[in-house]
Amino acid sequence: MTNDQLFDRARRVIPGGVNSPVRAFRAVGGTPRFIARAEGPYLWDAEGRRYIDYIGSWGPMILGHGHPAVLEAVTKAARDGLSFGAPTEREIELAEEILSLVPGLEQVRLVSSGTEAAMSALRLARGATGRPLIVKFEGCYHGHADALLVKAGSGLATFGHPTSAGVPPEVTQHTLVLEYNHVGQLEEAFAQHGARIACVMIEPIAGNMNFVRAALPFMRRLRELCTQHGALLVFDEVMTGFRVGLGGAHALYARDIPGFAADLFVFGKVIGGGMPLAAFGGPRAVMEHLAPLGGVYQAGTLSGNPVATACGLATLREIRRPGFFDALAARTRTLLDGLLAAGRATGVPLVGDCEGGMFGFFFADALPQQYGAVMATDKERFNRFFHAMLDRGVYLAPALYEAGFVSAAHGEAEIAATAAAAREALAAA
């Protein structure tokens, strides 16, 4: 069947024809591609068309699709049993592997999705501190838990209003939404509410407003204020964890800010290698507030699933090989340089940034630092560019607000083909 036929069929039985909204191509227009298979850096759709894949299942496929070591681990685990609802040794091994890569992290609990991990981390922060307020930043996405589906209003330290129908205002009345990279707002929020703030949750490199870094002075001040007021700093590394570097984004800030450390972490994507798996973790003293030891309840039937943990463990063992991230970062930088060169060659304002195997670009004159600036970039040009690239066999995220991902399977040929396609697409778009 064609992509159009499959989409028509899907819309009869699935709301909007998709099981996650961005897949519907509503932001860019057109018909979503229904993927039949994948291998290495490539996807093939239902019509047999091949694409260079820069979505990578939204981040997890850091090794590329179908890596032999991962396939072997998953196949063996599946033969032994798909799910037990009981502890396994592999859960311990995966937890130990994660702890070994993140200094200061003492315990983790495995769950099945990034949303579940973020939601649980917030409950834990509130339970550990006995405080009600949480702080998040406009443009940072932490999953679709009710308390996090909020947007910022105008003015300083505005309490969030629900972004989604079905979320009562009472649920978000304790969620404070601030502007990303705005130190002044941060300081005033703590001055007004510091004694009631349980935690601040942040994407250190925001990947859901494309690719926007938290500036060093902003992150330094955030850490100082959390320490001063007894709030927990929660790093949401669902996207950046083990993707921008072996120690995640946390290692980057710890390198540049003496004594820097987050209090809680949220992980996903890469730690599952493409299977449904996520985790949240922190110091033992905080994690012991979780049931069965403490009064903060969290549970999950498929948490620590034996096939998912096999997939994640095999992935983490591959990416910690010497030189892996140096090579991945160089590959990503070459891709971004090629895109920016295409912009210069065609006279199109194009800026971008990258770290490890994650990148982003904007049709603008300067890199945005906040969500409002991202919203002001040239959306219509992006939409034209997206379709022009898709027509040339390059699959980018179908929305201006999503970061892109490079894998170890992307070689010189794929990077060069992408840069050439970009030059043609920009000239046409």
pLDDT in tens, 391-427: 999 999 999 989 999 999 999 999 999 999 999 999 9
158 pLDDT higher than 50: no
229 and 306 part of one domain: yes
Spatial neighbors of 171 by CB under 8 A, at least 6 apart, are: 146, 147, 162
Confidence (pLDDT) at 151: 57
Instruction: Please say which residue of 319, 349, 373 terminates a domain.
Output: 319
Average pLDDT taken over every residue of the chain: 94
196 and 257 belong to one structural domain: yes
**pLDDT value of residue 156:** 32
DSSP letter for 198, please. Answer: E
| DSSP string covering 261-278 | --SEEEE-GGGGBTBS-E
pLDDT tens digits, 77-90: 999 999 999 999 99
Claim to verify: residue 160 and residue 93 sit in the same structural domain: yes
236 in catalytic set? yes
Among 267, 284, 319, the domain-final residue is: 319
The whole-number average pLDDT for the span 349-358 is 98
Note whether 314 and 342 are same-domain residues. no
Predicted pLDDT of residue 165: 77
pLDDT digits (tens, 9 = 90+) for 268-300: 999 999 999 999 999 999 999 999 999 999 999
What are the pLDDT digits (tens) for 180-214? 999 999 999 999 999 999 999 999 999 999 999 99
Asked if 307 and 381 touch (Cβ cutoff 8 Å), the reply is: no
**Residue 284 maps to which CATH number?**
3.40.640.10
Instruction: Note whether 53 and 94 are same-domain residues.
Output: no
Same domain for 222 and 351, yes or no, is: no
Q: What angle do CA 207, 212, 216 make, to 5 degrees?
A: 125
pLDDT tens-digit map of 374-397 = 999 999 999 999 999 999 999 999
- Alpha-carbon separation of residue 145 from 122, 148, 228 (angstroms): 10, 6, 28
Q: Among the listed ranges 116-130, 158-172, 346-360, which one has the minimum average pLDDT value?
A: 158-172
Mean pLDDT of 151-170: 53
Residue of higher predicted confidence among 229 and 170: 229
The sign of the CA dihedral 299, 304, 306, 312 is positive
Q: Is residue 165 domain-shared with residue 310, that is, in the same domain?
A: yes
Do 265 and 363 share a domain, yes or no?
no
pTM, whole model, 2 decimals? 0.94
Do 399 and 340 share a structural domain?
yes
Residues 194 and 126 in one domain: yes
CB 197 within 8 A of CB 134: yes
Q: 42, 141, 253, 401: which one is catalytic?
A: 141
pLDDT band at 157 (very low <50, low <70, confident <90, very high): very low
Residue with tokens 């991902």: 405
- Single out the catalytic residue among 236, 253, 263, 401: 236
Question: Catalytic: which of 180, 269, 353, 395?
Answer: 269
Task: Give the structural domain span for 279.
Answer: 68-319
Residue 408 sits in a domain of what CATH number?
3.90.1150.10
Establish whether 253 is a catalytic residue: no
96-134: per-residue pLDDT in tens?
999 999 988 999 999 999 999 999 999 999 999 999 999
Instruction: List % helix, strand, coil for the chain (3-state, nearest 5).
Output: 45, 20, 40
Report the domain count for the chain: 2
Whole-number pLDDT of residue 160? 44
pLDDT at 188: 96
Q: Are residues 20 and 52 in the same domain?
A: yes
Tens digit of each residue's pLDDT (9 = 90 or more) over 31-78:
999 999 999 999 999 999 999 999 999 999 999 999 999 999 999 999
Whether the CB-CB separation of 219 and 369 falls below 8 Å is answered with no
Residue at which a domain ends, from 297, 319, 341: 319
Question: Letter for the amino acid at 187?
Answer: E
The 3-state secondary structure of 62-123 reads CCCECCHHHHHHHHHHHHHCCCCCCCCHHHHHHHHHHHHHCCCCCEEEEECCHHHHHHHHHH
User: Do 365 and 376 sit in the same domain of this protein?
Assistant: yes
76 is catalytic: no
150 pLDDT more than 80 = no
pLDDT one-digit tens code per residue, 296-334: 999 999 999 999 999 999 999 999 999 999 999 999 999
